Amino acid sequence: MENIPEPYTIRYPEIVAIAAEDATRVELVEQFDCVGGAMWAKYHYKKSPLVRSVRTVGATSRYLLDPGEEDLALVGSHFPAGISGVRVTDDEVVVSYRGMGGGGVGASICRSLAQGVLRCETDPSGGGRVAGSTVWLPRRQRVLIGIDDTDTPEEGATWTLAHNIARAVEDDRSRYLSHTIVQLFPVAFRTKNCVAIVCEFASTRPDRLADRFQAYLERYTLSEDTGMAVFCGFDPSALDGFGWSVKQGEVDPASIDQVKGLVDIRIAGRGAVGAIAAIPFYTRYEEALSL
């Protein structure tokens, strides 16, 4: 029988922090390996005063956080673990966790070993002890890249191309977080299903990321009408109205002028309409797929 190297430790594969431009909000994205542990943390951590909300997206838990410090009143079984501190600097996000018993193991060593952690301070944990950790993470920006119209009636598929490009451009500076297929109004000139794609990244080099994505898209697109648009910012909800209009009916390409100030249109083919429309629906899968 082989030994288990760390029988009482489960490493979180990766933790990423995205901060709003004014540093008033943070989205903490924790990629998990043990779904049971992640759901336990989600249930209890949302009771923390600094946690506005938490949701599961794929194999990640996403915590929307307020900066601040809290002395958590931990209670076994009822509130055994939580997030006790959030701080934003010019280039880092600092997050503190606290827990008791097994929750202390998760709050300390399990998170401090995650990819993406620059450095950490960790308490001894295990048994019935109260323990925690403070982790320093790179402060990243959300980058949403929308694309549409890359295929032809004979070959290609936009959703697969988008995912493969996103994987190709991902590096330590730009982490690929999500891929969302967005159903658009089935216009007469569609290839078949009329969908656009938005890929989400957390990046410290958004311009470099967008340049690399554009270069791959220009190399591999099969269409003369390809569109690509980039949004850099914490919240793209200002594009909601435009996105819904493109889902509800055919939109004149000239209407892009209404939102030009909100996005960087990298490739201005006819597909730019769908590319922009997809952006606000990132990770909103039910709405994105509705027609």
pLDDT tens track for 86-135? 999 999 999 999 999 999 999 999 999 999 999 999 999 988 899 999 99
pLDDT at 187 over 80: no
pLDDT band at 193 (very low <50, low <70, confident <90, very high): low
Residue 35 shares a structural domain with residue 86? yes
Establish if 4 belongs to a structural domain. no
pLDDT computed for residue 155 by the predictor? 79
pLDDT at 284 over 70: yes
Average pLDDT of the chain to the nearest whole number: 94
Q: What is the mean pLDDT of residues 63-84?
A: 96
Residue 132 shares a structural domain with residue 155? no
pLDDT computed for residue 154 by the predictor? 75
Report whether 140 contacts 204 (CB < 8 A).
yes
pLDDT computed for residue 47 by the predictor? 97
**Domain coverage including residue 228:** 149-289
Segments in 26-154 forming alpha helices (H): 35-45, 102-105, 111-112
* Number of domains into which the chain is organized: 2
Of 88, 112, 139, the residue that ends a domain is: 139
Cα of 269 vs its chain's centroid, Å:
27
For residues 182 and 281, give the distance between their C-alpha atoms in angstroms, rounded to a whole number. 7
pLDDT computed for residue 189 by the predictor? 57
Residue 167 shares a structural domain with residue 74? no
Residue 154 shares a structural domain with residue 284? yes
Of 105, 139, 173, the residue that ends a domain is: 139
Establish if 280 belongs to a structural domain. yes
Establish if 155 belongs to a structural domain. yes
The CATH number assigned to the domain holding 173 equals 3.30.70.2200
pLDDT tens column, 229-251: 999 999 999 999 999 999 888 88
pLDDT tens column, 205-227: 999 999 999 999 999 999 999 99
In the structure encoding, which two tokens stand for residue 46, read together? 């949302």
Establish if 2 belongs to a structural domain. no
Report whether 65 contacts 97 (CB < 8 A).
no
